[in-house]
Every structure is written in structure tokens, then in C-alpha cells.
A and B are shown apart, each in its own frame.
Chain A
């Protein structure tokens, strides 16, 4: 079965650079979520999209932005990178909007290292 695809899997950037993370949800899933997971921490919700519109916002810094495109893939844009942005970034998709009754399907993550 198709899974959530994230690219790149690994990314190394310098401070103050920008980064773009991509997420391709499972076909026919209309909702995408982005999470940030620091070392030894639980995933922190950043932002979500439902039918290409932002549906909820969590602890996403103003330096970050995201969007969902017409083909439902999503991109997380990160600017003015800081050392503290080094983390694992997950994308997840679900078929049921924000009802919460369906589980989320997580991608393998993008490991971002900021030097």
C-alpha cells in the first residue's frame, strides 16, 4: 500500500539559511499534518491542512510557513534557520479531515541538521 512520502530524508543547512521540506500524502487523503520532534521528545504539532486550506496551527514559528497544493502535497518552508530547528520533521496524512476519529499515517520524516 502507498505510504506517506517525505523528501528529502536528510538535510544539512547552515544557520540563517532556508529549507523546504516536502510531503506527499497517501492518495485520497485530504488532510496533512506537520510535526517537529526534537531528540528524546514527543512530536509537537506545527500546522495542518484540510482540502488545501490551513485548518489548524500549533507551535509553528513565524519563520516557518507551509501550504498544501492542488495535488494535495504539502511543503514546509523554513527560513532564517536556527540551531534549535535541528529536529526530525514528520508529515502525516489522514482521510477524514479534522474529525480525529481516523488514525494518522506518518511519513518516515526529514532529519534537519542546522550547523
Chain B
């Protein structure tokens, strides 16, 4: 079965420090992986995706993620966190068998402290 795990419910980081939000996946074949961010009472906003090609993917707002096939991970990173990065982050994998849909992780709340 295809699944996504975000092992941390919440991540706290000081402003200016690097941040990492973890995501691991279980999927057969080549995964399509995505990161979305959700601010309070807002819809999800796309940050970045990995479809194929370079393992290091750069996205919006200075975020990047590294696809690691051997560790089945797709961790989201940013070199220097901003208070405005505080939000709920969802990792998702596109399911390519059966129902075509996103499988979302449970979300990680990022809190950047001033």
C-alpha cells in the first residue's frame, strides 16, 4: 500500500536557523512527491515537487527538498527560517495505481520563533 509519513507533529525552530520538515514515503515504482503549505483558514499552496531528474528540488519562498530513493525520504528544508514560515506543511505522494489521488501525510506544524 502507498503511504506517506510525517513523523513530527510539530517542529520549532528559531528565526534565522535552518529548518527541516521530514517526510518518508512508501510507494511502488517511481514516486511523484509534493510539498504543500497551509496557513490558517486557507487552502493548500504548492511549494515544490519531485517528478524526475535532479534529486535536489528548489521551490517557492526559498524552500528546497531532497529526494532520497534509498531512504525513501523527501525532507523539506530551508537554510534560514522566517517567522512568516510558521504554518502547517503537508507532504504528499501521487498515487499511480487504483484511484489517482494524493496521499497526504498527517502534516507538520512549523513554528518559527522570533
- Report whether B100 and A106 are in contact in the complex, using a CB–CB cutoff of 8 Å: no
Rounded to whole Å, the gap between the CB of B65 and the closest CB of chain A is 13
* Contact surface of A with B, Cβ cutoff 8 Å: 4, 33, 41-43, 45, 48, 55-58, 90, 92, 98, 100-101, 103-109, 111
Contacts of A101 in B (CB 8 A): 32, 51, 94
Find out whether the CB atom of A42 lies under 8 angstroms from the CB atom of B99. no
Stretch of B18-26, B68-76, B77-85, B103-111 at the chain-chain interface: B103-111
Q: CB within 8 A of A100: which of B32, B42, B105?
A: B32
A106 pairs with B101, CB closer than 8 A: no
Q: Are B43 and A107 in contact (CB under 8 A)?
A: yes
How many chain B residues have a CB neighbour from A under 8 Å? Answer: 23
B34 touches A45 (CB 8 A): no
Contact of A42 among B41, B51, B106 (CB under 8 A): B106
Q: Which residues of A contact B44 (CB under 8 A)?
A: 43, 90, 92, 104, 106
Binding site for A on B (CB under 8 A): 32, 34, 36, 41-46, 49, 51, 90, 94-96, 99-102, 104-107
A107 closest partner in B (C-beta): B43
A104 touches B102 (CB 8 A): yes
Partner of B46, one of A48, A55, A104: A104
Bound state CA distance, A58 and B106, in angstroms? 17
A56, B43: Cβ atoms closer than 8 Å: no
Bound-state Cα–Cα, A109 to B42, Å? 7
Which chain B positions have C-beta within 8 A of A104? Answer: 44, 46, 102
Contact B101 A58 (CB under 8 A): yes
Q: How far is the CA of A14 from the CA of B87 in the complex (A)?
A: 32
Contact B101 A108 (CB under 8 A): no
**Most chain-A CB neighbours within 10 Å: which of B44, B95, B96, B104?**
B44
Residues of B within 8 A of A90 (CB): 43-44
B43 to chain A, nearest CB (A): 3
Q: Are A45 and B43 in contact (CB under 8 A)?
A: no
Query: How many angstroms between the C-alpha atoms of A98 and B98 in the bound complex?
Result: 12
Contact yes or no, A100 B43, CB < 8 A: no
Q: Which 5 A-B pairs have the closest CB atoms?
A: A106-B43, A100-B94, A42-B104, A103-B46, A98-B100
